[in-house]
């Protein structure tokens, strides 16, 4: 069967949205770039730029202002070029914790035809913040190593505090997340040749239209590569958006926690996304219609085109498109939990894509009039699933105002191979399933959307001027999903040596040497009885056996010599130099004795009657356990006998701390109190979402007591002692 038989032609280039997009692009392309100013002026904090100028090259160490209403450089006016070539703005010291970064380095206030060229900006909450500008250009800048939060998910257990929520931005809620570039109400222009890695977000756009985002590297961030809110008619092409990830531990949990290579939210429509590499991110592409659509059933994030991108190896969804109408054509969607999650999608075209190795190929609940045509599926466990739930969430206006029953979906001309299950159809009707080919195996040659689409590929490519139809090269994009390593500050980029545990809490620990090619040798070990090998090469695995008396407090330090390195904070070392790295485990508390209780009467809720809660432990404990860690997190209880709601615990332990500085830290979703030697040091007793609390704790021997309760929903309680006096609050999350 020829693939050409089932190809649907692209939307004609005379369609109104194409004409409008082309007009917008021609407008910014025709505007001339302003000539560089010849004379250089010195940088002064708080300087105002109202005409074209070149700032004198140099490194300027200036901490960002506390207020986001201020900035180190403010640009306002028309026809201005700010040349930052050779300029390095540095906020916090390079090895400081990134969540200490503050302020805005450069702000563009309104104006038109402003160009920001070159420069390096690091160590700030926002690198460039632009509002109300027209025809803005940001070209060839390096905005890496700016603000990002500490993450509290570990190898063996994730934390709810790391989950993100980008659902609201009507009141500038996204400002709490920080970004290398933040565009608000910007019309026209481009972001090109810019790099923003190892922060939280690369580029955020809200209310921003007709901007071309091309040839940028927004990879290895702990939130988003690109995020869009109420932003339409933009063209996003040939960007690297890989490894924007959090909430992943190989073989233990794979959540993504709403990180994404590219997120498109809330009435963002008519955008073109083509030729981007967005692999190994929480979602490769994540689209949601927005609160207005959920409340009214109207609108959506509609008529966006995803053409010839690589969204593979996402822990969650290679592509998520929900409550909207879009086109997903000629993309690579491999190695993810879902190739496409399309809940409540309607009239969406899924055509000529290469699926492979996903747990689910295409899953659409409550979908209507969608078309799945001319795709190739290779080794997806369940290929196509359509269904309707018996009941829908009562707080969604969407299902009250619209017919949402799954119906009238077309599946035609696809190839299904090496799949455990091809169809799963439940509570759905009127679907057309024709001319599909089911095979036991598939030819060895790699799937190519060009072959699947035939001449239609060239038709789509010709509608995207000034760019070659090629995916940008990313040396780590083809690695399996297990290549993702996420530590306390986000994804590891492989540019520096790193020791990473392959196991959760174990008496004997395997550590893998990650990083560039080179050699390593052991420099020092503390609290270690045996180590399997004392020197070797990158890629080795060390087996470490801690000493019997140091199971919770041991460390190894190695020395790396090899290729040039760049640390996750941006520190560079030339090839052949010595770079120290290592691994430390500090678990000061040996064991916890834990009693669990439960109750049914709301009048006995601990926030209403703490005494009644305390009395439960005297006579009505439903379970006792001894645990090496006090660390529980679940929606459905993982311990048999614990109810789904209205339960609590009391945990006691002892800790002995050597001389030094320490903090007691709790992470809780519910209510928590902690006593040290009988003194109440943490008191967060009202019901709350997941938050982090701290209290100082001195060296010496101490008795610890924790009380915790949860009324309903997600539960989390973690209590631990950590070194130092740091007070990282974690991610901004949904708060």
| CATH at residue 617 | 2.60.120.260
Q: Are residues 645 and 542 in the same domain?
A: no
| Residue 507, domain CATH | 2.60.40
Regarding whether 645 and 680 lie in a shared domain, the answer is yes
Q: Residue 727 is encoded by which pair of tokens?
A: 């007070």
Say if strands 272-274 and 253-254 run parallel, antiparallel, or are unpaired: unpaired
**Average pLDDT of the residues in 420-437:** 95
Confidence of residue 564 (pLDDT cuts 50, 70, 90): very high
Of 601, 707, 609, residue with least CA distance to 652: 707
Nearest Cα residue to 306 out of 331, 286, 283: 331
Q: 654: domain range?
A: 592-723
pLDDT classification of 344: cutoffs 50, 70, 90: very high
338-341 vs 317-322, strand pairing mode = parallel
Pairing of strands 565-566, 354-356: unpaired
Same domain for 632 and 551: no
Domain end (from 520, 553, 586): 586
Whether residue 100 is contained in a domain is answered as yes
Judgement on whether residues 579 and 604 belong to the same structural domain of the protein: no
Q: The tokens 């979402």 sit on which residue?
A: 689
Please tell me the pTM assigned to this model: 0.93
For residue 8, tell me if it sits in a domain.
Answer: no
Spell out the residues 6+ positions from residue 542 whose beta carbon is closer than 8 angstroms to its own. 499, 510, 511, 512, 513, 531, 532, 533, 556
Assess whether pLDDT exceeds 70 at residue 486.
yes
pLDDT of residue 508: 86
- Amino acid 38: pLDDT: 60
Mean pLDDT of the chain: 92
Statement to judge: residues 582 and 638 lie in one domain: no
pLDDT of residue 504: 74
* Block residue for tokens 């002995």: 656
pLDDT in tens, 458-482: 999 999 988 999 999 888 888 999 9
Vertex 544 angle, CA 538 and 545, to 5°: 175
Q: What is the mean pLDDT of residues 351-357?
A: 97
List, in sequence order, the alpha helices (H) in 315-448: 398-401
**What is the SS3 assignment for 464?**
coil
**Angstrom distance (rounded) from CA 522 to CA 513:** 12
Mean pLDDT across the stretch 694-703? 97
Angle ∠(345,350,354) on CA atoms, nearest 5:
135
| Pair of tokens at residue 509 | 């620990």
Render pLDDT for 364-416 as a digit per residue (tens, 0 to 9): 999 999 999 999 999 999 999 999 999 998 888 999 999 999 999 999 999 99
141 and 92, same structural domain?
yes
Q: In this structure, are 640 and 689 located in the same domain?
A: yes
Q: Are residues 657 and 708 in the same domain?
A: yes
321 inside domain: no
579 with 598, same domain: the answer is: no
- Of 86, 185, 80, 90, the C-alpha closest to 137 is 80
* Within-domain flag for 426: no
Q: Does 677 lie in the same domain as 615?
A: yes
**pLDDT on residue 503:** 82
Last residue of some domain: 129, 147, 165? 147
- The set of residues, in sequence order, having a beta carbon less than 8 Å from that of 601 and lying 6+ positions away, is none
| Better-predicted residue by pLDDT, 657 or 442 | 657
Contact 301, 287 (CB under 8 A): yes
What would the pLDDT profile of 203-240 be if each residue is shown by its tens digit? Answer: 999 999 999 999 999 999 999 999 999 999 999 999 99
DSSP 566: E
pLDDT of residue 610: 86
Distance in angstroms (rounded) separating the CA atoms of residues 27 and 397:
40
Residue 45 falls inside a structural domain: yes
DSSP 612: H
Token pair, residue 495, equals 């540019």
Residue 560: alpha-carbon gap to chain centroid: 30
Residues 691, 599 share a domain:
yes
In a domain, 265, yes or no: no
What would the two tokens of residue 466 be? Answer: 């000034």
Helix, strand and coil content of the chain, in percent to the nearest 5, comes to 10, 45, 45
Tokens of 166: 């980008």
Tell me if 688 is assigned to some domain: yes
Number of domains in the chain: 3
Closest CA to 258 of 241, 249, 245, 268: 245
Same domain, 138 and 65: yes
At residue 275, φ and ψ (nearest 5 deg) are: 60, 35
Given a contact cutoff of 8 angstroms between Cβ atoms, the answer to whether 117 and 85 are in contact is yes
C-alpha distances in Å from residue 225, one per residue of 130, 139, 201, 219, 536: 18, 17, 6, 6, 35
Residue 123 placed within a domain: yes
Q: Which of these three, 125, 147, 169, is where a domain ends?
A: 147
* Residue 346 DSSP label: B
Q: Write the pLDDT tens digit of every residue in 651-668.
A: 999 999 999 999 999 999
């Amino acid at each position: 069967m020829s693939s050409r038989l089932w190809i649907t032609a692209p939307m004609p280039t005379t369609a109104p949205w194409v004409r409008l997009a082309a007009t917008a692009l021609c407008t910014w392309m025709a505007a001339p770039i302003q000539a560089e100013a010849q004379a250089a002026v010195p940088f002064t904090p708080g300087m105002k730029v109202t005409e074209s100028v070149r700032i004198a090259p140099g490194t300027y160490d200036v901490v960002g202002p506390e207020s986001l209403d201020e900035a180190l450089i403010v640009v306002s006016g028309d026809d201005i070029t700010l040349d930052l070539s050779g300029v390095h703005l540095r906020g916090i010291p390079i090895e400081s914790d990134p969540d200490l970064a503050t302020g805005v380095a450069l702000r563009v206030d309104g104006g038109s035809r402003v160009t920001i060229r070159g420069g390096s900006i690091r160590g700030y909450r926002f690198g460039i913040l632009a509002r109300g500008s027209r025809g803005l250009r940001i070209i060839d800048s390096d905005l890496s190593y700016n603000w990002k939060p500490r993450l509290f998910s570990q190898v063996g257990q994730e934390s709810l505090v790391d989950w993100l929520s980008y659902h609201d931005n009507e009141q500038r809620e996204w400002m709490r997340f920080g970004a290398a570039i933040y565009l608000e109400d910007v019309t026209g222009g481009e972001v090109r040749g810019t790099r923003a890695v190892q922060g939280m977000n690369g580029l955020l756009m809200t209310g921003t239209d007709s901007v071309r985002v091309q040839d940028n590297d927004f990879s290895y961030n702990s939130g988003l590569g690109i995020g869009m809110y109420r932003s339409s008619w933009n063209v996003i092409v040939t960007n690297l958006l890989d490894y924007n990830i959090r909430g992943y531990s190989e073989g233990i949990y794979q959540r993504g926690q709403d990180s994404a290579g590219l997120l498109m939210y809330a009435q963002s429509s008519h955008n073109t996304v083509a030729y981007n590499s967005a692999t190994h991110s929480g979602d490769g592409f994540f689209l949601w219609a927005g609160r207005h659509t959920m409340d009214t059933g109207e609108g959506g994030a509609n008529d966006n085109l995803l053409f010839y991108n690589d969204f593979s190896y996402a822990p969650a969804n290679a592509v998520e498109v929900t409550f909207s109408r879009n086109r997903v054509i000629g993309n690579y969607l491999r190695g993810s939990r879902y190739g496409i999650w399309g809940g409540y999608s309607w009239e969406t075209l899924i055509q000529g894509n290469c699926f492979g190795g996903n747990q689910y190929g295409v899953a659409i609940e409550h979908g209507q009039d969608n078309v799945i045509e001319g795709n190739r599926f290779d080794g997806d466990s369940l290929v196509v699933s359509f269904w309707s739930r018996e009941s829908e969430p009562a707080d969604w206006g969407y299902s009250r105002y619209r017919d949402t029953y799954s119906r009238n979906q077309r599946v035609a001309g696809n190839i299904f191979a090496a799949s455990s299950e091809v169809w799963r159809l439940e509570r759905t009707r009127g679907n057309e399933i024709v001319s599909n080919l089911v095979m036991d195996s598939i030819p060895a040659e790699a799937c190519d959307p060009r072959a699947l689409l035939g001449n239609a590929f060239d038709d789509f490519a010709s509608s995207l001027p000034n760019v070659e139809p090629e995916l940008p090269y990313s040396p780590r994009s083809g690695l399996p999903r297990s290549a993702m390593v996420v530590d306390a500050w986000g994804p590891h980029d492989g540019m520096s040596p790193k020791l990473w545990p392959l196991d959760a809490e174990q008496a004997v620990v395997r550590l893998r040497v990650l990083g560039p090619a080179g050699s390593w040798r052991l420099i020092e070990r503390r609290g270690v009885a045996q180590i399997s090998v004392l020197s070797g090469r990158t890629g080795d695995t060390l087996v470490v056996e801690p000493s019997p008396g140091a199971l919770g407090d041991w460390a190894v330090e190695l020395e790396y010599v090899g290729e040039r390195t760049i640390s996750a904070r941006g520190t560079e070392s030339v090839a052949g130099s010595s770079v120290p790295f290592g691994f430390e485990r500090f678990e000061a508390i040996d064991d916890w004795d834990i009693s669990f209780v439960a109750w049914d009467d709301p009048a006995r809720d601990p926030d209403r009657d703490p005494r009644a809660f305390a009395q439960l432990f005297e006579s009505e404990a439903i379970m006792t356990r001894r645990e090496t860690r006090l660390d529980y997190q679940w929606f459905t209880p993982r311990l048999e006998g614990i109810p789904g709601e209205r339960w609590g615990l009391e945990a006691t332990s002892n800790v002995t701390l050597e001389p030094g500085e320490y903090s007691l830290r709790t992470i809780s979703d519910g209510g928590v109190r902690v006593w040290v030697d009988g003194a109440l040091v943490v008191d967060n007793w009202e019901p709350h979402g997941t938050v982090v609390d701290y209290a100082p704790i001195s060296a010496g021997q101490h008795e610890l007591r924790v009380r915790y309760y949860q009324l309903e929903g997600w539960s989390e309680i973690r209590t631990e002692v950590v070194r130092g006096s740091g007070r990282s609050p974690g991610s901004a999350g949904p708060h």
